[in-house]
């Protein structure tokens, strides 16, 4: 009796295993499905805009249709590492930020852009904002194509500037932390001078503003380029000029409780929804010194992972799609992305958008900075510590020491891995 | 409440309190205290839930005013509309279908696997049984942060990338569920199956006709936990699906709301939270009727 | 042959006619029942875990092949003064703090609630239970956002309603309290359901007999309820402990480890090391995870041994 039932169970198990096998067989074995896999982290309204572009492109009946595959920020990297281990399912098109581009290039995982330029020669330096192209080059060879730029920039409430006669701060289009500190006692209690968001991002501009560069500054987190602006921000917080940490940055600014707001280029859509469009002014990001104003920008790049099995037709199709996006970027520009392509930068329609401020003339373009230093990302990951410093939870010395330990610890491990 | 008759007679005074139906309905001071505790706790528990729902009906403009409002100043369906509009570009309904398929199959197979294994580890005698089980349990406790990479590799080797099986099968290796069921089975008196064995019943027969009915409440709990677990998983589906149409709904909804935008995005986030919990909530309400059925097998045996 | 097998099957129930198959392989007999799980766990559980163990002895950035590093990662963690040493022990301390407070809360509160809900004559137990369970269905991320709105020092529900000026998320001990509130709110549902289910299986005659003997509710709880549900209780204790050691979502979302990293728990830094904004330090992350696993394992063995003795 027991034996019979045992056999029954074995049979069941065998059937289940066979079933699973059959299912697994049907799942694989697609030779060329004539689709391009496009991995990105565009969630929210930028995803909607990009998907529109993809749809329009697919409507032109290309040989290879593009499959739009969005995922949460860091998941793209995790997924890339996963497929890299198997060598299969490597996507044709990926969007990664400037620092991750550096990391992947350092591992020799990226195929050079000249492979794509064979099919679309216009995907070249001449057609892009020069700083943005510099950020995709490694040793003179391009390993990425810029898609758009983003960063915290300084918005100001025109009404409040007028009300408190603050035009003098904006006269040179440069707002320094010093000038913010100068507002001590000039504003009513419930109006903050500055609504401060994404501190580590802001810090990058401040570093470059003092002549620093990330490839050096990351190795010396206790250096003056980090310390001096942070000390001034600590001062600003003590003077009650910064929004308390618990107040949402966007909300504080949009509700008229702050004269200046350090917000993302990508926040402009939400801002215009929440407050009168004519009240919003935009200018260069926060500076330490007025001498050498800089706007450090992050960058979303097209990259292509090496894949020996990728056919030439597929390569060409990838180039075609990137070129299509380059010439049809307006949909994304309208939601606040800073275009890297001259097609937009030179178009009157784009020039009407608020973010065109950063690329209008030679003067503005000379202020742009970027970096693709692979360890650059380490300096930005310690959000909490930057906030702890400015809001007085730790002293500047202790906080910077912590940042120094953290980045150096991680870099040390990397150098021993080689 | 039907208990309108109040009795001054304290519960302790009656040695048979709780035995007869009538006396159970009598409102005693201790029952009132229990109600009070439960009501207060439930209020604390439900307020954030209601806040979630009310927040999902607030407009972006209202968020930007920065004032505290429990209920929206003006109820608007914008956030839900936004999700609905997104379904034009995002396959929200396919996501729901995928989630249902994955969660139902996961939960069903989980119950099968767990019941069988629980029986094996609690009722069948073989050398080193408990040692084997606790070793498995201990192994499963190891926190492995990098395991997503080898797991992906295994799933890719099996050819399950882009297949529902990638989201169903690995979860069946859960040891904790077996631990739970095993412990419940150990609570069932041994005399039951020993009596059956003497009558010549096979192990499988004992499993099917004695153990399974007895542990039905906990199997329903396992079904509920597995379903909810599969429903709420979001990182793993992102890794194993290369096609947005194949995504389950929890992972998919994350794509509709950028986390970059903080407060201004709160309404949409809350709206998608409310939508995502409806199926698991319905399942819970349905299941809770069953997993509390006292089967009282012991008295059945003795009688 | 028969003589040898006598000892193997000695613990078998006497009086039952043994098949030849059973005589030879008591394990093979049980195998069909445990096999489906065992195979899946071996493939999707053990292989990744063994891989993770191996990685902890290497330097690996998740790309290419790991480079053997022997005990280097562990040496760095154990050498006073290194960054990894500071991080590991500070985070471990915070994690232990979370475990010590959260585990008793998440066991005792649902247990008492389950007993209350089982009270005779109580109406609407299903509704109460559903309300207590709902938060568990909400993702940690969304739940944390709601509680952050409740605890916000500037325009949060609590400070506004009670006219307080407490910096809940930015000052201790409040920051920890907010994390415990979130964890309890979201975490009691599962254990509550298990206890309720366990209580429903307890023989009602036992209670009645005890009441006839004049035992009060407290004595009934300790002398009947607890012993009757000790096995499910044992399960919840171990699993809640494991879960608490692996905590990261609640502190990450509520306080982001602050203020001044006082709520930074181990898994947050482990994840940061494995998946950072720069190149990954997966080897170091795995080494820390292994150490955490060893601590967890020792605690669990103690719990298991203790429980088996009780049995």
| Residue-level pLDDT at B19 | 41
Question: What is the distance between the alpha carbons of residues A131 and B241, in angstroms, rounded to a whole number?
Answer: 36
Residue B302 has pLDDT above 60, yes or no: no
How many residues comprise chain B? 303
Asked if C72 reaches chain A (Cβ–Cβ under 8 Å), the answer is: yes
Contact yes or no for A201/A151 (Cβ under 8 A): yes
Q: Is residue B4 part of a domain?
A: no
Give the strand pairing for A368-369 and A295-296: parallel
Asked if C35 reaches chain A (Cβ–Cβ under 8 Å), the answer is: yes
Of A79, A274, A275, the CB nearest to B239: A79
Residue A5 has pLDDT above 70, yes or no: no
Give the strand pairing for A280-283 and A298-303: unpaired
More confident: B268 or A162: A162
> Rounded to the nearest 5°, which phi and psi values hold at A81?
-60, -40
User: Over pLDDT 70: what percentage of chain A?
Assistant: 92
Q: At a CB cut-off of 8 Å and minimum separation 6, what does A107 contact?
A: C61, C63, C64
Taking an 8 Å cut-off on Cβ atoms, the answer to whether B149 and A51 are in contact is no
**Closest chain C residue to A103, measured at CA:** C279
A173 and A290 in one domain? yes
| Residue-level pLDDT at A418 | 67
Give the Å distances, CA to CA, from C195 to B175, C104, C254. 19, 15, 29
C-alpha distance across the termini of chain A, in Å: 63
Taking an 8 Å cut-off on Cβ atoms, the answer to whether B224 and C232 are in contact is no
Q: Which residues pair with A148 in a beta bridge?
A: A300, A339
Taking an 8 Å cut-off on Cβ atoms, the answer to whether B70 and C157 are in contact is yes
Residue B16 has pLDDT above 50, yes or no: no
A290 and A184 in one domain? yes
Give the Å distances, CA to CA, from C124 to B2, B5, B35, B39, C118. 12, 18, 10, 11, 11
Rounded to a whole number of angstroms, the distance from the CA of C197 to the nearest CA of chain A is 29
Over residues C161-188, the pLDDT tens digits come to 999 989 999 899 999 999 999 999 999 9
Q: Give ∠ CA A40-A46-A48 in degrees, rounded to 5.
A: 95
Q: What is the DSSP code string of A77-112?
A: HHHHHHHHHHT-S--SEEEEEHHHHHHHHHTT-BPP
B272 and B137 in one domain? yes
Q: Calculate the average pLDDT of chain B.
A: 82
Taking an 8 Å cut-off on Cβ atoms, the answer to whether C59 and A413 are in contact is yes
Question: What is the distance between the alpha carbons of residues B40 and B42, in angstroms, rounded to a whole number?
Answer: 5
A163 and A128 in one domain? no
Question: What is the distance between the alpha carbons of residues B155 and B175, in angstroms, rounded to a whole number?
Answer: 20
Q: Which residues in chain C have their CB less than 8 angstroms from residue B281's CB?
A: 134, 137
B107 and B66 in one domain? no
Give the start-to-end residue ranges of the domains of chain C.
88-277+289-310
Lowest mean pLDDT among A42-46, A366-370, C91-95, C264-268: A42-46
Rounded to a whole number of angstroms, the distance from the CA of A290 to the nearest CA of chain C is 30
Q: Is residue A164 part of a domain?
A: yes
Q: Is residue A30 part of a domain?
A: no
Rounded to a whole number of angstroms, the distance from the CA of B66 to the nearest CA of chain A is 6
Residue A14 has pLDDT above 60, yes or no: no
B210 and B66 in one domain? no
Q: Which residues in chain B have their CB less than 8 angstroms from residue A1's CB?
A: 200, 202, 205
More confident: C34 or B93: C34
**Closest chain C residue to B121, measured at CA:** C34
Identify from B85, B126, B152 which residue to disrupt to test chain A contact, counting A C-beta atoms within 10 A and taking the largest count.
Answer: B152
CATH number of the domain to which A318 belongs: 3.40.190.10
Give the Å distances, CA to CA, from A221 to A38, A196, A210, A235, A386. 36, 21, 14, 20, 11
Contact yes or no for A118/A63 (Cβ under 8 A): no
Q: Which residues in chain A have their CB less than 8 angstroms from residue C155's CB?
A: 247
State pTM to two decimals: 0.89
Q: Is residue B65 part of a domain?
A: yes
- Over residues A24-35, mean pLDDT: 60
| Residue-level pLDDT at A8 | 54
- Over residues B278-287, mean pLDDT: 89
Question: What is the distance between the alpha carbons of residues C66 and A413, in angstroms, rounded to a whole number?
Answer: 13
Of A27, A48, A72, the CB nearest to B163: A27
Q: Is residue A160 part of a domain?
A: yes
Burial group, residue A243, by CB count within 10 angstroms (0-12, 13-18, 19+): buried
B162 and B68 in one domain? no
Q: What is the DSSP code string of C95-129?
A: HHHHHHHHHHHHHHHHHHHHHHHT-TT-S-HHHHH
Contact yes or no for C301/B160 (Cβ under 8 A): no
CATH C-level class of C88-277+289-310: mainly alpha
Q: Is residue A25 part of a domain?
A: no
Asked if A277 reaches chain B (Cβ–Cβ under 8 Å), the answer is: no
Give the Å distances, CA to CA, from B118 to A105, A234, B4, B23, B175. 50, 59, 47, 40, 10
Q: Is residue B193 part of a domain?
A: yes
Contact yes or no for B24/C120 (Cβ under 8 A): yes
Contact yes or no for A251/A271 (Cβ under 8 A): no
Q: Is residue A135 part of a domain?
A: yes
| Residue-level pLDDT at A16 | 55
Q: Is residue A70 part of a domain?
A: yes
- Over residues A379-399, mean pLDDT: 91
Taking an 8 Å cut-off on Cβ atoms, the answer to whether A409 and C83 are in contact is yes
More confident: C25 or C232: C232
* Domain boundary pick from B19, B46, B79: B79
Identify from C30, C64, C147, C260 which residue to disrupt to test chain A contact, counting A C-beta atoms within 10 A and taking the largest count.
Answer: C260
Q: Which residues in chain B have their CB less than 8 angstroms from residue C300's CB?
A: 137-138, 141
B151 and B57 in one domain? no
Q: Which residues in chain B have their CB less than 8 angstroms from residue A9's CB?
A: 204
Q: Which of C155, A77, C117, C20 is nearest to B35 (CA)?
A: C117
Question: What is the distance between the alpha carbons of residues C100 and A103, in angstroms, rounded to a whole number?
Answer: 40
A309 and A349 in one domain? yes
Taking an 8 Å cut-off on Cβ atoms, the answer to whether B89 and A89 are in contact is no
Helices (H), C213-265: 217-220, 226-228, 230-245, 249-254
Q: Which residues in chain C have their CB less than 8 angstroms from residue A299's CB?
A: none
Question: What is the distance between the alpha carbons of residues A313 and C215, in angstroms, rounded to a whole number?
Answer: 83
Q: Is residue A15 part of a domain?
A: no
B109 and B43 in one domain? no
The separation between CA C165 and the C-alpha centre of its own chain, rounded to angstroms, equals: 34
Q: Is residue B136 part of a domain?
A: yes
Q: Which residues in chain B have their CB less than 8 angstroms from residue A196's CB?
A: none
| Residue-level pLDDT at B68 | 82
> What residues 122-151 of chain C have any CB closer than 8 A to a CB of chain A?
none
Lowest mean pLDDT among A22-26, A377-381, C63-67: A22-26
Q: Which residues in chain A have their CB less than 8 angstroms from residue B63's CB?
A: 251, 274
Q: Which of C78, C77, C57, C75 is nearest to C67 (CA)?
A: C57
Contact yes or no for C144/C254 (Cβ under 8 A): yes
Q: How confident is residue B289, by pLDDT bands cut at 50, 70 and 90?
A: confident
Alpha carbons within 13 angstroms on the beta-carbon side of residue A380 total: 25
Of B25, B144, B296, the CB nearest to C48: B144
| Residue-level pLDDT at B217 | 85
Q: How confident is residue C154, by pLDDT bands cut at 50, 70 and 90?
A: confident
Rounded to a whole number of angstroms, the distance from the CA of A304 to the nearest CA of chain B is 16
C163: helix, strand or coil:
coil
Q: What's the domain count of chain B?
A: 2
Burial group, residue A123, by CB count within 10 angstroms (0-12, 13-18, 19+): buried
| Residue-level pLDDT at B235 | 84
| Residue-level pLDDT at B126 | 85
Structure-block tokens of residue A103? 């990391």
Lowest mean pLDDT among A258-262, A282-286, C227-231, C238-242: C227-231
Identify from C256, C279, C280, C288 which residue to disrupt to test chain A contact, counting A C-beta atoms within 10 A and taking the largest count.
Answer: C279
Which chains form contacts with chain A, at 3 or more CB pairs under 8 Å?
A: B, C
Q: Which residues in chain C have their CB less than 8 angstroms from residue B172's CB?
A: 36-37, 40
Question: What is the distance between the alpha carbons of residues A254 and A277, in angstroms, rounded to a whole number?
Answer: 11
Give the strand pairing for A141-142 and A145-150: unpaired
Taking an 8 Å cut-off on Cβ atoms, the answer to whether A6 and C261 are in contact is no
The residue whose two tokens read 């027991």 is A2
Which chains form contacts with chain B, at 3 or more CB pairs under 8 Å?
A: A, C
Range of the domain at B36: 11-79
B138 and B50 in one domain? no
Of A1, A25, A67, the CB nearest to B200: A1
A168 and A79 in one domain? no
Q: How confident is residue A207, by pLDDT bands cut at 50, 70 and 90?
A: very high
Over residues A177-203, the pLDDT tens digits come to 999 999 999 999 889 999 998 888 889
Q: At a CB cut-off of 8 Å and minimum separation 6, what does A362 contact?
A: none
B235 and B109 in one domain? yes
| Residue-level pLDDT at C19 | 57
Rounded to a whole number of angstroms, the distance from the CA of A24 to the nearest CA of chain B is 5
Over residues C127-142, the pLDDT tens digits come to 999 999 999 888 888 8
Q: How confident is residue C64, by pLDDT bands cut at 50, 70 and 90?
A: confident
Question: What is the distance between the alpha carbons of residues A252 and B107, in angstroms, rounded to a whole number?
Answer: 46
Taking an 8 Å cut-off on Cβ atoms, the answer to whether C276 and A409 are in contact is no
**Closest chain C residue to B39, measured at CA:** C128
B93 and B44 in one domain? no
Q: What's the domain count of chain A?
A: 2
B261 and B169 in one domain? yes
Q: Is residue B151 part of a domain?
A: yes
Q: At a CB cut-off of 8 Å and minimum separation 6, what does A213 contact?
A: A207, A371
Q: Is residue B5 part of a domain?
A: no
Over residues B44-84, the pLDDT tens digits come to 999 999 999 999 999 888 887 777 888 998 899 888 888 88
Q: Which residues in chain B have their CB less than 8 angstroms from residue A73's CB?
A: 259
A213 and A139 in one domain? no
User: Over pLDDT 90: what percentage of chain C?
Assistant: 59
Q: Is residue B1 part of a domain?
A: no
Rounded to a whole number of angstroms, the distance from the CA of B259 to the nearest CA of chain A is 8
Asked if C258 reaches chain A (Cβ–Cβ under 8 Å), the answer is: yes
User: Over pLDDT 90: what percentage of chain B?
Assistant: 33
Identify from B4, B54, B135, B141 which residue to disrupt to test chain C contact, counting C C-beta atoms within 10 A and taking the largest count.
Answer: B141
Range of the domain at A409: 152-296+382-417
Asked if A212 reaches chain B (Cβ–Cβ under 8 Å), the answer is: no
Structure-block tokens of residue B74? 């003006």
Q: Is residue A111 part of a domain?
A: yes
Question: What is the distance between the alpha carbons of residues C95 and C101, in angstroms, rounded to a whole number?
Answer: 10
Q: At a CB cut-off of 8 Å and minimum separation 6, what does C288 contact?
A: C77, C84, C88, C266, C269, C270, C273
Lowest mean pLDDT among A22-26, C30-34, C284-288: A22-26
Q: What is the DSSP letter of C58?
A: E
B121 and B75 in one domain? no
Over residues A71-87, the pLDDT tens digits come to 888 889 999 999 988 88
Contact yes or no for B14/B23 (Cβ under 8 A): yes
A173 and A256 in one domain? yes
Structure-block tokens of residue B136? 């498995």
Taking an 8 Å cut-off on Cβ atoms, the answer to whether B153 and A86 are in contact is yes
Taking an 8 Å cut-off on Cβ atoms, the answer to whether A248 and B262 are in contact is yes
Q: Is residue B292 part of a domain?
A: yes
A308 and A283 in one domain? no
């Amino acid at each position: 009796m027991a034996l019979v039932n045992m056999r029954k169970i074995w049979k069941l198990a065998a059937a289940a295993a066979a079933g699973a096998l059959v299912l697994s067989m049907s799942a694989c074995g697609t030779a060329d499905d004539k689709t391009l896999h496009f991995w990105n982290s565009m969630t929210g309204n930028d995803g909607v805009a990009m998907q529109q572009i993809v749809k329009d492109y697919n409507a032109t009946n290309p040989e290879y249709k593009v499959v739009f595959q969005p995922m949460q920020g860091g998941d793209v990297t995790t997924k890339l590492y996963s497929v890299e281990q198997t060598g299969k399912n490597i996507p044709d098109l990926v969007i990664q930020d400037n620092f991750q581009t550096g990391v992947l290039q350092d591992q020799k995982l990226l195929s050079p852009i000249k492979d794509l330029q064979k099919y679309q020669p216009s995907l070249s330096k001449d057609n892009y904002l020069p700083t943005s192209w510099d950020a995709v080059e490694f040793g003179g060879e391009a390993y990425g194509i810029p898609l758009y730029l983003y960063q915290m920039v300084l918005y100001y409430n025109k009404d409040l500037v007028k009300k408190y006669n603050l035009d003098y701060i904006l006269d040179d289009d440069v707002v320094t932390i010093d000038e913010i500190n100068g507002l001590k006692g000039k504003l009513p209690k419930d109006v903050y001078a500055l609504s401060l968001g994404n501190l580590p991002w802001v810090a990058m501009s401040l570093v470059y503003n003092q002549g620093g560069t990330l490839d050096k500054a990351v190795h010396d987190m206790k250096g003056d380029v980090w310390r001096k602006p942070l000390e001034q921000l600590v001062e600003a917080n003590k003077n009650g000029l910064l929004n308390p940490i618990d107040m949402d940055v966007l909300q504080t600014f949009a509700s008229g409780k702050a004269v200046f707001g350090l917000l993302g280029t990508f926040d402009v859509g939400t801002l215009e929804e929440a407050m009168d469009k004519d009240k919003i002014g935009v200018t260069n990001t926060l500076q330490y010194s007025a001498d050498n104003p800089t706007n450090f920008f992050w960058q979303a790049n097209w990259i292509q992972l090496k894949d020996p099995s990728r056919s030439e037709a597929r390569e060409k199709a990838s180039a075609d799609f990137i070129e299509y996006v380059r010439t049809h970027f307006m949909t994304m520009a309208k939601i606040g992305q800073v275009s890297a392509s001259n097609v937009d930068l030179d178009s009157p329609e784009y020039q009407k958008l608020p973010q065109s401020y950063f690329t209008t003339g030679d003067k503005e373009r000379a202020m742009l900075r970027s970096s693709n230093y692979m360890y650059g990302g380490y300096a930005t990951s310690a959000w909490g510590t930057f906030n702890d410093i400015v809001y007085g939870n730790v002293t500047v010395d202790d906080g910077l020491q912590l940042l120094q330990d953290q980045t150096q610890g991680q870099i040390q491990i990397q150098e021993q891995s080689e | 409440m039907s208990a309108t008759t109040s009795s001054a007679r304290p519960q302790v005074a009656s040695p048979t309190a709780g035995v007869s139906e009538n006396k159970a309905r009598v409102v005693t001071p201790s029952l009132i205290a229990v109600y009070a505790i439960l009501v207060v706790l439930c209020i604390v528990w439900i307020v954030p839930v209601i806040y979630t729902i009310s927040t999902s009906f607030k407009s972006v403009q209202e968020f930007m005013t920065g004032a505290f409002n429990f209920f929206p100043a003006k109820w608007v369906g914008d956030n839900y509309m936004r999700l609905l509009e997104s379904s034009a570009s995002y396959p929200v309904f396919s996501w729901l279908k995928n989630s249902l398929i994955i969660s139902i199959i996961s939960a069903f197979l989980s119950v099968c696997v767990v019941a069988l294994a629980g029986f094996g580890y609690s009722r069948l005698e073989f050398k080193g049984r408990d040692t084997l089980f606790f070793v498995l349990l201990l192994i499963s406790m190891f926190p492995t942060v990098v395991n997503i990479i080898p797991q992906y590799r295994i799933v890719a080797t099996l050819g399950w990338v882009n297949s529902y099986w990638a989201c169903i099968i690995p979860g069946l290796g859960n040891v904790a569920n077996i631990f739970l069921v095993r412990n419940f089975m150990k609570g069932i008196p041994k005399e039951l199956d020993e009596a059956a064995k003497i009558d010549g019943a096979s192990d499988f027969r004992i499993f099917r006709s004695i153990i399974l009915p007895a542990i039905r409440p906990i199997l329903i709990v396992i079904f509920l936990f597995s379903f909810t677990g599969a429903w709420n998983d979001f990182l793993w589906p992102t890794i194993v699906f290369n096609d947005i149409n194949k995504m389950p709904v929890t992972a998919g909804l994350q794509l509709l709301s950028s986390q970059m935008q903080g407060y201004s995005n709160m309404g949409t986030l809350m709206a998608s939270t409310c939508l995502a919990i409806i199926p698991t909530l319905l399942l819970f309400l349905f299941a809770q009727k069953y997993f509390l059925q006292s089967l009282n097998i012991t008295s059945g045996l003795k009688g | 042959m028969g003589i040898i097998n006598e000892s193997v099957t000695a613990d078998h129930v006497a009086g039952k006619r043994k098949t030849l198959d059973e005589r030879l392989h008591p394990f093979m007999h049980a195998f069909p029942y445990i096999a489906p799980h065992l195979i899946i766990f071996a493939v999707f559980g053990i292989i990744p875990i063994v891989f993770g163990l191996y990685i902890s002895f290497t330097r690996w950035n998740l790309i290419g092949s790991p480079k053997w590093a022997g005990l280097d990662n562990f040496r760095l963690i154990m050498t006073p003064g290194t960054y990894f040493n500071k991080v590991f022990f500070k985070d471990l301390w915070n994690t232990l703090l979370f475990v010590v407070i959260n585990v008793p809360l998440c066991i005792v509160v649902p247990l008492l609630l389950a007993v209350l809900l089982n009270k005779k004559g109580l109406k609407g137990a299903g509704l109460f239970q559903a309300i207590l369970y709902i938060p568990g269905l909400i993702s940690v991320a969304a739940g944390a956002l709601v509680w952050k709105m409740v605890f916000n020092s500037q325009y949060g529900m609590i400070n506004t309603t009670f006219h307080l000026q407490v910096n809940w998320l930015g000052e201790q001990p409040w920051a920890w309290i907010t994390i415990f509130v979130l964890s309890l709110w979201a975490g009691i549902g599962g254990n509550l359901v298990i206890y309720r289910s366990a209580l429903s299986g307890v023989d009602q005659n036992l209670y009645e007999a005890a009441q006839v003997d004049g035992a009060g509710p407290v004595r009934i709880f300790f002398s009947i309820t607890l012993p009757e549900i000790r096995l499910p209780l044992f399960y919840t204790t171990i699993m809640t402990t494991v879960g608490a050691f692996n905590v990261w979502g609640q502190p990450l979302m509520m306080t982001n480890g602050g203020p001044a990293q006082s709520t930074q728990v181990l898994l947050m830094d482990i994840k940061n090391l494995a998946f950072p904004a720069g190149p990954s330090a997966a080897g170091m992350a795995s080494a820390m995870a292994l150490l955490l696993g060893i601590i967890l394992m020792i605690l669990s063995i103690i719990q298991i041994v203790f429980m088996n003795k009780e049995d």
